[in-house]
């Protein structure tokens, strides 16, 4: 590992400073303020928001399943923190997932719906991963639908999506569960890893943890390890890398995505801790993923993470999105706690300093979802305001010990303290 990654002894961590902790908590509270009421669609589900906090599409917008599930997860966190009204948002989202996204004929959950029913009735691994996360978080706060949803989506993931041969899930099926052949993706499996850990924490059932470990072994130890701790995104049905894949720029961008290397750096450390620190390869993988993200993905001229790189490590899509910054902050905190080094702490400070200067929308609240290469706000990939999920976790993760998910550590500690 290069010299910059070794521990040389900074005097303190920002995450231990009361001022920084209050600053983070204030940013989290601002996010709750933006999304708690403006996002709620009285006809069910949630609005995507314009930058000014009004609905991106009024009337009868199409609602993606991941948006509702993320709101359930985030406001379950709000409820655990004691934020008034959070339980109402959790219930609003759970009712919509159970009554409108759930396919009562064929089973599973529709990818997109509107007021009239399914708009895209496909069954996506990405969407089902977030349903598992929502159900697990809702169980922690005692929502009455949580047990049924958790049992239902667990059975669907096991019988429809899970492929024992590879130790990961298939990507997509049609509404009647006819296979959609030819593609396997790491993104859905990465988010399923997060959800499986949450389900293990909520239930104590070890099969969730074992599946998460299988996915991480395939995607990170083997495939990312083969690529020098760069996470490949796209594969064929046999999990062989497809370097030429061209997909949806929002969910399946071509090339590599440094933001996902950062996300995996945190998740694989969390998995290492949750599994009793049995797998020695995991902390080294986390260290390598983070180092590569900062070395190859960070724009040394303007700052921020390039959205995508090509296979020669050159910037491909030069936009700077909000969520890689969020994942970088969370990963740096976990690494600074478990693998202390000046590099990890300095990276944490660099990321938050960039965020406060360029990414916070001080006029309307929330974060700018996209910046150009030279850091002007833009909307070429993500229309409207970036959702609460990544940003809220970035603000709250550093306030707690790096031992488990936010729902678990908040349940155990009762909430953040300003003094450490």
Of 413, 348, 418, 410, nearest to 77 by C-alpha is 410
| Overall domain count for the chain | 1
pLDDT digit string, tens, across residues 19-53: 999 999 999 999 999 999 999 999 999 999 999 99
User: Which residue positions in the chain have pLDDT lower than 70?
Assistant: 1-9
Predicted confidence at residue 123, as pLDDT, reads 99
Q: Please indicate, yes or no, if residue 280 is contained in any of the structural domains.
A: yes
Q: Please indicate, yes or no, if residue 389 is contained in any of the structural domains.
A: yes
Predicted confidence at residue 6, as pLDDT, reads 44
**Taking the model in full, what pTM does it have?**
0.97
Predicted confidence at residue 252, as pLDDT, reads 87
CA separation for the pair 331, 344 (Å, rounded): 9
Q: What are the DSSP calls for 341-356, one per residue?
A: -HHHHHHHHHHHHHII
Predicted confidence at residue 10, as pLDDT, reads 83
Of 315, 349, 314, 303, nearest to 329 by C-alpha is 349
Q: Find residue 317's DSSP bridge partners.
A: 308
Predicted confidence at residue 9, as pLDDT, reads 65
CATH code of the domain containing 16: 1.50.10.10
Q: Please indicate, yes or no, if residue 387 is contained in any of the structural domains.
A: yes
* Residues forming the active site: 260, 390
Q: Please indicate, yes or no, if residue 93 is contained in any of the structural domains.
A: yes
CA separation for the pair 104, 377 (Å, rounded): 42
Q: Please indicate, yes or no, if residue 381 is contained in any of the structural domains.
A: yes
H helix or E strand, kind and range, residue 393: helix 388-396
Owning domain of residue 292 = 3-413
- Which DSSP symbol is given to 397? G
Q: Please indicate, yes or no, if residue 116 is contained in any of the structural domains.
A: yes
Helices (H), 114-257: 125-140, 146-156, 186-203, 206-216, 225-226
Q: Within 13 Å, how many C-alpha atoms sit on residue 299's CB side?
A: 23
Predicted confidence at residue 1, as pLDDT, reads 36
Of 365, 370, 406, 407, nearest to 39 by C-alpha is 365
CA separation for the pair 213, 223 (Å, rounded): 14
Whether the Cβ atoms of residue 335 and residue 287 lie closer than 8 Å to each other: yes
Q: Please indicate, yes or no, if residue 353 is contained in any of the structural domains.
A: yes
Instruction: Give a three-class secondary structure readout of 47-77.
Output: CCECCCCCECCCCCCCEEHHHHHHHHHHHHH
Predicted confidence at residue 87, as pLDDT, reads 99
Q: Number of helices and strands (H, E) in the chain?
A: 14, 13
Q: Please indicate, yes or no, if residue 18 is contained in any of the structural domains.
A: yes
């Amino acid at each position: 590992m290069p010299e910059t990654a070794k521990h040389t002894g900074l005097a303190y961590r920002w995450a231990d400073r009361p001022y920084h902790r209050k600053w983070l908590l204030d940013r989290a509270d601002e996010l709750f303020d933006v999304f708690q009421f403006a996002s709620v669609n009285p006809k069910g589900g949630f609005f995507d928001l314009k930058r000014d906090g009004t609905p991106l599409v009024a009337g009868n917008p199409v609602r993606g399943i991941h948006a509702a599930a993320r709101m359930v997860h985030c406001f379950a966190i709000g409820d655990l923190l004691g934020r008034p009204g959070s339980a109402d948002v959790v219930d609003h989202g759970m009712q919509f997932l159970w009554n409108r996204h759930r396919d009562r004929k064929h089973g599973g959950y529709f990818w997109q719906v509107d007021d009239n029913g399914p708009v895209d009735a496909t069954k996506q691994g990405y969407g089902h991963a977030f349903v598992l996360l929502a159900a697990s978080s809702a169980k922690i706060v005692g929502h009455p639908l949580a047990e049924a949803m958790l049992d239902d989506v667990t059975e669907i993931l096991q019988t429809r999506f899970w492929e024992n041969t590879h130790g990961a899930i298939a990507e997509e099926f049609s509404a009647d569960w006819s296979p959609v052949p030819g593609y396997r993706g790491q993104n859905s499996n990465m988010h399923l890893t997060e959800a499986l850990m949450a389900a293990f924490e909520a239930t104590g059932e070890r099969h969730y943890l074992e599946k998460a470990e299988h996915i991480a072994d395939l995607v990170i130890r083997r495939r990312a390890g083969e690529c020098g701790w760069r996470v490949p995104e796209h594969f064929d049905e046999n999990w062989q890398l497809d370097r030429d894949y061209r997909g949806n720029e929002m969910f399946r961008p071509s090339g590599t995505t440094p933001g996902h290397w950062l996300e995996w750096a945190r998740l694989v450390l969390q998995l290492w801790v949750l599994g009793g620190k049995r797998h020695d390869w995991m902390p080294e993988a986390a260290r390598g993923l983070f180092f590569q993200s900062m070395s190859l993905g960070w724009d040394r001229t303007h700052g921020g993470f390039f959205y995508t790189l090509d296979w020669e490590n050159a910037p491909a899509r030069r936009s700077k999105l909000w969520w890689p910054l969020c994942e970088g902050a969370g990963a740096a905190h976990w690494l600074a706690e478990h693998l202390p080094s000046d590099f990890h702490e300095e990276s944490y400070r660099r990321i938050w300093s960039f965020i406060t200067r360029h990414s916070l929308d001080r006029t309307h609240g929330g974060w700018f979802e996209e910046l150009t290469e030279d850091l002007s706000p833009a909307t070429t990939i993500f229309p409207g305001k970036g959702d609460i999920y990544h940003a809220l976790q970035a603000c709250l993760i550093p306030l707690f010990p790096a031992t488990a998910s936010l729902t678990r550590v908040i349940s155990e500690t009762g909430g953040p303290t300003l003094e450490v």
